[in-house]
Amino acid sequence: MRPHAAIVGAGSLAPQRRTEGASTLGMLARAAKAALDDARMEKAEIDGLLVGPQVGETPQHVPATVSEYLGLQPVMSNVVDLGGASGPGMVWRAAAAIQAGMCETVLCVIGNHRNPEPPRSPNRNPIREFDVPFGASGANVSYALLKQAHMARYGTTDEDFALIAHWARANAQNCPEAIFHGSPASVDDVLASPMIASPLHLFEIVMPVAGAEAGIVTSAERARGRQAAWLLGAGEKITHRAVSQAPDLTSGPLKPSMDRAFAQSGLGVERMSLLSLYDCYTIMVATTLEDAGLCTPGGFGEFMRAHDFGPAGDMPLNTHGGQLGYGQPDLAGGMTHVTEAVRQLRGAATGRQIADPEFALVTGNGATMSEAVALVLGTDA
């Protein structure tokens, strides 16, 4: 695949456990400015805009509202609504719009506040009728079911899953912005944390935070000569919404998404310098490692014991701490995996830089292992 676009700027707001009087629009503006500054671009150079949904604040006309607030007049705009896969999904959509000649430089921005009054919106989704009344309410219960299914099918253990949370916390110690910077967790600590939804322990579950993330995607012509992370391949698939409708509880739509991304890039998973894998729960990382072909189904525990996942290790994984260590800034959680990969590929991950990066696998996941996006990024076109 000949690259048509690259990410040339990344901006992040440090995660916060709580906000007071913040607006999502204001947070998006700050993340967007940080990305523009990083790309050394002016606002007038932006002619495309991709945003996420804004629950409770801007229920409709989100691109127009964000454009007006930022002072943009894009010739291409849209909302990408794929849950935690929205950030990675924005990247390939931006590249596709550039390739189609609809625009040249796209701002991709997503985030949310955590004010005392939580944002709410009406929900008439069928899951409310057929799943919630029977106890399947909220993500914790649904992902607990996925972990339980994996343990039942393959004999995997709590200790296997605890290794994932341990490494997330360990890598967060190298990222001062991470919500769990200063709070490492051993395997025993993970196992001793409270049981939230059996068999999920508290430390296996993301910490919701406020935050925002932004990236600037531009054409190959404009990216030349800049520090860039090139989009080499992408894949996407949706299989269901409610976990009760999932075609498989131990493998998900990331498998075909990663297969497509690798096929487009002409690379295999063994060539990846960095694994930037969506990690809302430990079970999500486990299934992604297996679906990527890094280990056999049910074999992730042995794989975790065989490798060093730190920035100086042989298999760098979520070097910012992932969402389990960094925090999950609402739907921007998936974009944190994009911005971290961009920083690593550009040699800008201060204090946690991996050696000689070439390629990164980035994944996003929405709903309950339902919506999937995979990207392969590289340092050179």
Whether 259 contacts 266, CB under 8 Å: no
For residue 361, name the pLDDT band (cuts at 50, 70, 90): very high
Would the pLDDT of 2 be above 80? no
What does the pLDDT read at residue 137? 77
In this predicted structure, what is the pLDDT of residue 223? 97
Tell me what percent of the residues of the chain surpass a pLDDT of 90: 91
The yes-or-no verdict on residue 51 having pLDDT over 90 is: yes
Range 208-221 average pLDDT? 97
Q: What is the pLDDT of residues 198-208, one digit of tens each?
A: 999 999 999 99
DSSP assigned state of 98: H
Give pLDDT, residue 118: 67
User: Percent of the chain having pLDDT more than 70?
Assistant: 97
Number of separate domains in the chain: 1
Neighbours of 125 (CB within 10 A): 12
On whether residue 277 sits in a domain, the answer given is: yes
Structural domain including 251 reads 5-115+206-378
Whether 197 maps to a domain, the answer reads no
d(CA 203, CA 322): 13
* Distance (Å, whole) CA 83 – CA 24: 16
Per-residue pLDDT, 125: 74
Longest dimension (CA), the chain: 57
Q: Is the pLDDT of residue 58 over 90?
A: no
pLDDT digits (tens, 9 = 90+) for 279-292: 999 999 999 999 99
Q: Look at residue 3 in the predicted model and tell me its pLDDT.
A: 85
CATH number where 224 lies: 3.40.47.10
Q: How much is the average pLDDT of 46-73?
A: 92
CA-to-CA dists, residue 254 to 194, 261, 358, angstroms: 29, 10, 22
What band does 213 get if pLDDT is binned at 50, 70 and 90?
very high
Residue 179 lies inside a defined structural domain of this protein: no
Residue 224 in domain: yes
User: 138 falls in which pLDDT band (50, 70, 90)?
Assistant: confident
d(CA 302, CA 298): 9
Contacts of 304 (CB under 8 A, 6+ apart): 160, 163, 164, 167
What is the per-residue pLDDT for 59? Answer: 82
Mean pLDDT of the chain: 95
Give the residue-averaged pLDDT of 310-322: 98
pLDDT of amino acid 108:
98
Residue 195 inside a domain? The answer is: no
Taking the model in full, what pTM does it have?
A: 0.96
Is 126 part of any domain? no
Per residue in 166-198, pLDDT (tens digit) is 999 999 999 999 999 999 999 999 999 999 999
Q: Is residue 60 part of a domain?
A: yes
The answer to whether residue 137 is domain-embedded is no
